[in-house]
Every structure is written in structure tokens, then in C-alpha cells.
Amino acid sequence: MIEDQLKAVIRDIPDFPKPGIVFKDITPLLQHSELVELAVQEFARRLENIEFDVIAGIESRGFLFGFLLAQYMKKPFIPIRKQGKLPYHTVSESYKLEYGQATIEMHEDAFPKGTKVLLHDDLLATGGTVLAASKLIEKVGGSVAGYTFVISLDFLQSAGRLTRFNENIISLVGYQ
């Protein structure tokens, strides 16, 4: 089962980025090209009945599988980046973090109005970043067609926060 294979290589980093948090590190997974390929194929399999036009990935780890999935499914890829990192005209969305505030941006011409966007990030924790990205997609005139995550921290119950945008939420590994 893909979940067990992924859990075997995802590394726990205690007290990162602050005391009390156990960071789920996917970088060891990137050393296993066959497992990465299986993960991309599993995402594609689970997306078979979901209609979307483009895949957007959230900086930075959301770029890894988001871009691979876009290539595999022959879809355009849209980067959503931290403020000040994109070179063209952007739209932005700010959101609160446990330890402050952050802002993400996307090019204002990232996709035409009416585009159905699949949003990818490596991990769903509290959902703040992905909620901000969902708002950003709507600001530009798109709609969220669904979400994909390598990991979801299900004990935080954040998936429910996303359903106002779309109920298609796919995670390959869940932690209770």
C-alpha cells in the first residue's frame, strides 16, 4: 500500500520549526525515484473523475509533486509564491500563522477566468496557506477543482475548512 511505503520514508523532526511541533519531512522521499513515481501515479489515479484545467503548487515543497503531477497529466503548472518572489504583476492574499502573518502571490495572468484549478501542497496542517491560495485563485477568476497533499495531519481537522471551496481533498498519507 502506497501510504505504508510513504510513511516508511517520511522523517519526523521533533521541535521544528518550534518546540512542540513534529515536522513531517518529505525530503527523504525525494531520494526514492520509484516511490516518487508511484506517488504521482496514485495522485493521477485518484484524480480520474475530477475535472480541472491547471495545477497550482504552493511554495516551496508544493512545487515538487505539483509540477511532477502537472507534467504527468499534461496540465499547465502555476506557482504560488511568497510575497516578492514573482517577477510580473501579481495579486496577493495575506493570512495568519501561529507565529505571525504571511502573504502569498500569483501572477495576475496565471490563467484565464473560469479556469478550474487543482491546488497542491506537500502537507495539510492548519490549512491557513491553502485557504489563502484558494482565495487567491478566486481573486483571479478561477475556481478550486480540488486539493492534493502528500501528507495530511488529520488530527488537526483542517480538511473541513477547505470544503467551502471544494470537497475533493486527496491525501496520500494521513496522520491521526
Residues annotated as catalytic are: 61, 98
Burial per residue of 99-111, b for 16 or more beta-carbon CB atoms within 10 angstroms, e otherwise: eeeeebbbbeebb
Q: For residue 94, what are the β-bridge partners?
A: 103
Q: Answer for the pair 117, 137: CB distance below 8 angstroms, yes or no.
A: yes
Q: Which helix (H) or strand (E) holds 41?
A: helix 33-46
69 half-sphere exposure, CB direction, 13 A CA radius: 31
Taking only Cα atoms into account, the Rg of the chain, rounded to an integer number of angstroms, comes to 15
Cα four-point dihedral sign 29, 32, 35, 40: positive
Do the strands 143-153 and 11-14 form a parallel or antiparallel pair, or are they unpaired?
A: unpaired
Q: For residue 104, what are the β-bridge partners?
A: 82, 93
